[in-house]
């Protein structure tokens, strides 16, 4: 069975994945004269850098997602299908999906990355990742639900299991989550739960490396550590979580922490797609690509973003798996595809590092730009501006800005709702008269 897409005679570009890379390429190619087919398991684009604010009740999920179909209302040669890709047949120029097969002239793989539990099956089953809006909502529900339960738990040790939180991974996500929880503990939870002693809430951040924000400067790392420890977060460097049974977290230094919540932000891996040639595969599930984003061992398959492993002289171990790389690769590939259609010379990709940043909380952030590094309140304002500018949709930008202003002025968030999706009960087999 084939996916129902019109056969127009145009060259067909199939893009798998609607993250930063896939969406940027689809938008660039929307007026190219080619037929563009975008395939994603969700019908919306997710702005991943703000997942933690959804998880900590600072933003509604609708503020950081944008429907694909709305983006391409005016582009009749762009088709979206909500499906999962189950395999690729390069020799036949087709992919297999949950909706059927889809032929292509050029295939672009931009499936991003998923959480890496490093083979720990118990951790994968019990820890809470944060790589999607649904996972962020699950974390929000879990955090609030546990504080409700803590109110009715008399035993101190059992109550600590509900109140304390362990975050694994000291990258931007782990640091931002730790800072957001610390601010909730100080400003929000004492008002919502006056019966609880919120000073009893312990927040642990466990980092395997000897510094936080490993990919940033030492100055940024030190300042992030100072910010977090000043906010009362217990940071454990050069430490590794070895086991978790849903009640106790065991660390390789011999310590044990009681907590029913482990937030996993320790690493990423890329999903494997059956059918890709062996020579294209490298560590972490990534696909080897040349400087033109073409996958090794293929003639018309490209990879972008987190899943693409591309070496440059300045990046001999591949580019960092961040949004800027994905967007730049997508824009570059779009230019090359248009050049190829005109029989023009293709240009090799050169990554321009625009810097990196992370926020730790109100008036606390670290920014590393190519020529300048700074921390503190100004860095926080820069972080706010950059992320607000990157959000899709004017309404989303407005809602997020108003939420941020309200939270800043009132030291409060108004989105602390426990919402559990549930199928409505129906009487099966009952006949209506």
- Residue 345 has which token pair? 């010379």
Find residue 168's DSSP bridge partners.
Answer: 206, 264
Active-site annotation holder among 84, 122, 148, 176:
176
Residue 206: other Cβ atoms inside 10 A: 26
- Whether 176 sits among the annotated catalytic residues: the reply is yes
The H or E element that residue 36 is part of is strand 35-40
Interacting residues of 207 by C-beta distance below 8 A, sequence separation 6+: 169, 170, 174, 235, 236, 237, 238, 239
Burial class of 19 by CB neighbour count within 10 A (0 to 12, 13 to 18, 19+): buried
Phi and psi at residue 395, in whole multiples of 5°? -65, -40
Among 85, 1, 76, which residue's Cα sits nearest to residue 39? 85
Burial class of 254 by CB neighbour count within 10 A (0 to 12, 13 to 18, 19+): exposed
Active site residues: 176
């Amino acid at each position: 069975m084939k996916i129902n897409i019109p056969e127009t005679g145009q060259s067909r570009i199939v893009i798998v994945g609607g993250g930063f890379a896939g969406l940027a390429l689809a938008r660039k190619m929307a007026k190219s004269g080619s037929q563009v087919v975008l395939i994603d398991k969700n019908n919306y684009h997710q702005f991943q850098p703000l997942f933690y604010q959804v998880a900590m009740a600072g933003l509604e999920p609708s503020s950081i997602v944008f429907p694909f179909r709305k983006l391409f209302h005016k582009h009749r040669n762009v088709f979206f299908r909500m499906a999962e890709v189950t395999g690729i047949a390069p020799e036949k120029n087709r992919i297999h999906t949950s909706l059927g097969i889809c032929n292509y002239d050029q295939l672009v793989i931009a499936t991003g990355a998923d959480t890496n539990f490093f083979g720990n099956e118990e951790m994968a089953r019990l820890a809470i990742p944060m790589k999607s809006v649904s996972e962020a909502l699950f974390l929000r529900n879990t955090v609030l639900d546990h504080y409700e339960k803590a109110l009715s738990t008399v035993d101190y040790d059992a109550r600590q299991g509900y109140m304390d939180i362990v975050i694994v991974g000291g990258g931007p996500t782990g640091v931002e989550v730790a800072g957001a929880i610390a601010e909730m503990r100080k400003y929000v939870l004492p008002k919502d739960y006056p019966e609880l002693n919120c000073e009893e809430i312990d927040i642990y951040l466990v980092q395997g490396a000897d510094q936080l924000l490993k990919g940033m400067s030492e100055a940024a790392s030190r300042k992030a550590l100072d910010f977090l420890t000043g906010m009362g977060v217990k940071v454990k460097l050069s430490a590794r979580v070895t086991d978790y049974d849903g009640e106790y977290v065991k660390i390789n230094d011999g310590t044990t922490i009681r907590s029913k919540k482990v937030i996993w932000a320790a690493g990423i891996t890329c999903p494997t797609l059956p059918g890709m040639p062996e020579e294209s595969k490298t560590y972490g599930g990534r696909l080897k690509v040349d400087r033109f984003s073409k996958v090794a061992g293929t003639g018309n398959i490209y990879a972008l973003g987190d899943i693409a492993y591309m070496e440059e002289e300045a990046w001999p171990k591949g580019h960092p798996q961040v949004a800027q790389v994905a967007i730049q690769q997508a824009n570059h590939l779009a230019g090359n595809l248009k050049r190829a259609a005109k029989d023009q010379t293709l240009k090799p990709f050169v990554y321009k590092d625009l810097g990196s940043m992370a926020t730790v909380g109100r008036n606390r952030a670290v920014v590393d730009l190519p020529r300048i590094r700074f921390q503190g309140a100004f860095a926080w304002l820069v972080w706010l501006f950059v992320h607000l500018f990157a959000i899709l949709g004017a309404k989303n930008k407005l809602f997020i800005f108003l939420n941020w202003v309200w939270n800043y002025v009132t030291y409060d968030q108004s989105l602390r709702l426990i919402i559990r999706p549930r199928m409505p009960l129906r009487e099966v087999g009952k006949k209506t008269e």
